[in-house]
């Protein structure tokens, strides 16, 4: 019997505050940049879902607390954009883009830092799903990736 410590780095937990009846469905038909999602999509739906490393930093997102189930998200081909990776992406965007996107990326950096934000980037196969049914389909299909705390 081998005794020892697992030296594999543990991925941090991410949380989401939302409504008691479930996590708000993304609109998988609306593609936008990370900065646009963070700055302009509050209260609107995009293909991304915001999550946070600190459940206390996102109280304004809703009354119910959910934990993102990372193994399920990763295992099904979706991706969590880590907080540090998101900040790096926004820094590069602020350096390389035109003025309007630069300003948006800088503002997004401030918001993402304050909320310790990460993102879930969904990668569903949408063949055969009517556009009019997409949001209700997404609502049903993302609930299994979050556990109510």
Cβ 16 vs Cβ 49: under 8 Å? yes
Is residue 28 in a domain? yes
Answer whether residue 21 is part of any domain.
yes
Rounded Cα distance between 40 and 78, Å, is 23
For 86, list phi and psi in degrees, rounded to 5: -65, -45
For residue 10, tell me if it sits in a domain: no
- Predicted confidence (pLDDT) at residue 54 exceeds the cutoff of 90: yes
| Arithmetic mean of pLDDT, 3-32 | 83
Residue 143 pLDDT level (bands cut at 50, 70, 90): very high
- Specify the number of domains making up the chain: 1
State the residue range of the domain holding 82: 15-148
Partnered with residue 16 across adjacent β-strands are 66
pTM value is: 0.88
pLDDT at residue 10 greater than cutoff 90: no
pLDDT at 107: 96
Asked whether residue 8 is assigned to any structural domain, the reply reads: no
Residue 5 lies in a domain: no
Q: Is residue 98 part of a domain?
A: yes
Is 32 among the domain residues?
A: yes
Q: Is 7 a domain residue?
A: no
């Amino acid at each position: 019997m081998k005794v020892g410590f697992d030296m594999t780095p543990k991925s941090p937990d991410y949380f989401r505050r939302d409504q008691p009846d479930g996590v708000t469905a993304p609109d998988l038909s609306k593609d936008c940049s990370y900065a646009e999602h963070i700055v302009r999509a509050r209260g609107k739906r995009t293909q991304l879902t915001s999550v946070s490393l600190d459940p206390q930093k996102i109280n304004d997102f809703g009354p119910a607390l959910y934990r993102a189930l990372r193994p399920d998200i990763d295992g099904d081909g979706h991706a969590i954009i880590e907080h540090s990776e998101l900040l790096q992406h926004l820094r590069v965007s602020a350096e390389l883009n035109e003025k309007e996107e630069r300003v948006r990326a800088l503002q997004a950096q401030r918001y993402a830092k304050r909320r310790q934000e990460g993102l879930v980037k969904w990668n569903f196969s949408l063949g055969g799903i009517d556009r009019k049914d997409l949001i209700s389909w997404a609502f049903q299909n993302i609930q299994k990736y979050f556990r109510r705390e």
